[in-house]
A and B are shown apart, each in its own frame.
Chain A
């Protein structure tokens, strides 16, 4: 039963104390009704009111926290099926497989490969967040040895091991890092549940089809375990896709809380040995409900495409992506290279810097703070004006850092030329082209 904001408001203390993080009790009640905040954030609710409310107002999908320290990650917590309906909350994360069947040298080499891909893209660290440790049935010693090696790699772990005894031995050494124990199914449910709850870690549960997955989750919840993740991996891509969609849709659209857990999709299993196919599937599960996507490898080539896609899909439609204001020296630009000015809207930055890079001409790209708006929008909103540009030049200390006194401005704001010249005496302000695609020709002609 869904409660309305007003029903919840009646049960709040109506003190507007802000301790819940919302400005008023009414605002808090509305957020609770939407499912974006949990009722227990309010410290003044009576126990009675809490009991009445918590069941019916809990977010449909749980947020599960795994890993520890710098490797702590949040999964799930989504409130909608499509980003345009509101926003997606927790981006999908990537895992790469290691196996107890590999020898030490192989493991070391693969960990080294995994660690190579670690870079920043518009303020986000892009790397493989999880190591996915497959147990090959060759004894607890081998598996524990693998876990020990993996622990040294500074990543969160997923133990993929359906043998409760072996899992227990592995958790004994790594449970402080809050790994995920994946591998509960209808045959080992009780034993795996006991091991996972004793170690205090998230348990991954699967089933032959969605109905069996559902029954297994029910059984685990019946034992009081709500720290779960659903392994949606089926026998092939089609089944896995169906599982992932049906679980998420059953949860968010049909409002069944039993299905309200994040997911694992194991592409190393359903597309073994085919890296391109794994990229295709990873892109599909980025859009359709994979929380942890398991790959055999994450090469730079895969990462550049997949992390770019993920960053786009998980941007909040209400908040534009922004890059840091500052000086971006392109193509080996130095203090004598011409300056080109634009706004901090990420898409603008990418298009402009991409075109300049193609031109091979050295340019100091100056990015000014325009609240993440595009050139014309920012100009219309007063966020991109001679005044803001002057302020940016002062704050970033451009005059001292750069000797060149040539400044190219976007063609769309040609009207600002005079004002900028007035604010920045000594600068030669040049009006650039209207569109980014014309920059290559423009800068080549200009530099010639």
Chain B
């Protein structure tokens, strides 16, 4: 008797969410199968890659490959424009690192000015990442969402502590997309989605960031959270977990010693750039196979590889 593999397409599906506007807009989500299980049913919208640009420019960047890519760029705006030409890039993620009140404490006005300048210069969808300070992030997201009305940006992220503020401004008043961030726990992820929906933010305007970590650094928690969220969303049709997943990869992988330790300190490890690329590639791939619909990355070689990886499995 010939063996015919059983198909496992689900009746439920992940919400399709559009980011950006015009020709360069992208749609993430929409699938009714597990990640890359195209043998069960076709997947219409492939996972995407956003390129992370820090508002500090290349300050603190340890990667020669990244510096070389942006050679000749005089400003963050230049870098954002240049990032659009990165092979495999679909969106630009502007990371307001220097807004942190415990750091440089860049003012909300300066953040807005930069966001506007970038938005005027690029055509790709824009993601805005905060500085992890809850109050400051809420202020930035509020102001940037207002200034970039009509651009259909994604703000990263609303958290349990500031979801009301961020959800009401970005999600309701200014009609942008809201990222809901929780820390590697399916119940917390669901709870935040429920809270946002009670606030009135439409499900189709919400993406989830269910946590992030680098391969080797507690990645099992993230991996199992991704597996469980996709299982609940598809197999159990849990509407509160059917939002597409956005995972910041580069902020994690470029902070671990494998990617940062200079070659002089551990010569047997080989060139720093190569280590950074492999960490980013390995982590991004594992996130995508787990269920991320969009990953945020930095290094042009890593972005090109992951883009090729996605295409080869679609």
Contact = CB atoms under 8 A, between A and B. Distances in A.
Contacts of A211: 2-5
Interface residues of A, number: 54
30 contacts: A82-B224, A82-B228, A211-B4, A242-B39, A249-B5, A254-B6, A256-B3, A276-B278, A280-B281, A280-B285, A280-B308, A281-B285, A281-B309, A284-B36, A284-B288, A287-B223, A301-B269, A301-B278, A302-B278, A304-B279, A305-B283, A306-B278, A307-B216, A311-B216, A312-B219, A312-B223, A317-B220, A317-B224, A350-B217, A357-B257
A276 B283 contact: no
Contacts of B277: 276, 301
Contacts of B72: none
Contacts of A82: 224, 227-228, 231
Given A238-B314, A301-B270, A304-B269, 13 more contacts: A237-B309, A241-B313, A242-B38, A277-B312, A280-B308, A281-B285, A284-B36, A284-B289, A308-B216, A309-B216, A311-B216, A312-B217, A313-B219
Interface string A338-358: 000000000100110010011
A238 B215 contact: no
A254 B302 CA distance: 37
Contact of A354 (B256, B271, B289, B309): B256
A240 B231 CA distance: 23
A311 B223 CA distance: 12
B97 interface: no
Contacts of B4: 211
A246 interface: yes
B283 A351 contact: no
In terms of DSSP, what is the predominant structure of the interface of chain B? helix
A236 interface: yes
Contact of B223 (A256, A307, A313): A313
Contacts of A258: 3
Interface residues of B, number: 54
A216 to B, nearest CB: 11
B52 to A, nearest CB: 18
Contacts of A254: 6
A438 B50 CA distance: 28
Given A83-B223, A276-B301, A312-B220, A305 B282 contact: yes
B218 A312 contact: yes
Given A279-B285, A308-B258, A238 B313 contact: yes
Interface of A: 82-84, 116, 121, 210-211, 214-215, 236-238, 241-242, 245-246, 249-250, 254, 256, 258, 274, 276-277, 279-284, 286-288, 299-302, 304-309, 311-313, 315, 317, 347, 350-351, 354, 357-358
A84 B224 contact: yes
Interface string B276-314: 011101111110111000000000011001101100111
Interface string B2-26: 1111101000000000000000000
B264 interface: no
Most buried by B among A214, A282, A309, A347: A309
Contacts of A283: 215, 281-283, 285-286, 289
A210 B5 contact: yes
In terms of DSSP, what is the predominant structure of the interface of chain A? helix
Most buried by B among A83, A254, A287: A287
Interface string B253-270: 000111011000000111
Given A249-B8, A283-B281, A351-B217, A276 B223 contact: no
A31 B191 CA distance: 36
B279 A305 contact: yes
B281 A347 contact: no
Contacts of B290: 287
A317 B5 CA distance: 30
Contacts of B216: 121, 304-305, 307-309, 311-312, 350
Contacts of B278: 276, 279, 299, 301-302, 304-306
